Amino acid sequence: MEILISIVVGILFTVGTYLILSKNITRIIIGTGILSHGVHLLLLTMGGLKQGAAPLLGQEAASYTDPLPQALILTAIVISFGVTSFFLVLAYRTYNVHGTDDMEKMRGLENDE
């Protein structure tokens, strides 16, 4: 299972990187979203998959899955949500001010200040 998930993670990274390299600012933000999904899945996979019950002591199971990666991912999800929403509003402002969503036109070369 881990190998399969690793391949899925690789595909998510490929798609995320590919989108980040594009010109359109929206696609870049979508790319960061995909990339963070990939990272979260990677974190979970590294902790080992399905090695026991959910980390709730009431389950009285013989073994539990590792709770630490889950705690880390939870933190990461919240942070990436904050960053993504900030990026989105930033992109919205950029449209408003510069009237373009093309990164190649936002180079700040000599004629642009």
Partner 1 sequence: MTVLHWATISPFLLAILIPFLYKYARPIHTGWFVLVLPLVLFIYFISFLPITSDGGVIEYSAPWVPSLGINFTVYIDGLSLLFLLLITGIGSLVVLYSIYYLSKKTERLHNFYVYLLMFMGAMLGVVISDNLIVLYTFWELTSLASSLLISYWYHRKKSTYGALKSMLITVFGGFAMLGGFSLLYLMTGTFSIREIISQVELVTSSSLFIPAMILILLGAFTKSAQFPFHIWLPDAMEAPTPVSAYLHSATMVKAGIYLVARLTPVFGGAAEWFWILSGIGLLTLCWGSISAVRQKDLKAILAFSTISQLGLIMCLLGLGSASLYFGYGTESTVYTTATLAAVFHLINHATFKGSLFMTAGIIDHETGTRDIRKLGGLMTIMPITFTVSLIGTASMAGLPPFNGFLSKEMFFTGVLNATELSIFNMQTWGMLFPVLAWIASVFTFLYCLIMFFKTFTGKFKPENYDVHVHEAPIGMLVSPIILGSLVIIFGLFPNLLAYTLIEPAMAAILPTLLGGDDVFKVHIYHWHGFNPELFMTIGVIVFGTILFLLMKKWAQTTIYLRERDPLNRVYDGTLSGLATGGNKLTSFYMTGSIRHYLIYIFSFLVLFIGFMFVRLNAFAFGGETAPITFFETAIAIVMVIAAIVVALARTRLTAIIGLGAVGYSLATFFVFFRAPDLALTQMVIETVSTVLFLLCFYHLPMFKQKFENVKFKLGNLMVSLGVGILVTMLAISSHNSKLFDSLKDYFVAASYDEAGGKNMVNVILVDFRGFDTLFEILVLGIAAIGIYSMIKLRLAKEEQ
Instruction: State in angstroms the smallest separation of the CB of 60 from partner 1.
Output: 10
User: Residue 66 is which amino acid?
Assistant: D
**What is the Cα–Cα distance from 27 to 113, expressed in whole angstroms?**
27
Whose tokens are 């993670």? That residue is 9
**What is the Cα–Cα distance from 89 to 12, expressed in whole angstroms?**
24
Q: Pick from 1, 2, 30: which is nearest to 16 by CA? A: 30
Q: Is 38 exposed, middle or buried (0-12, 13-18, 19+ CB in 10 A)?
A: buried
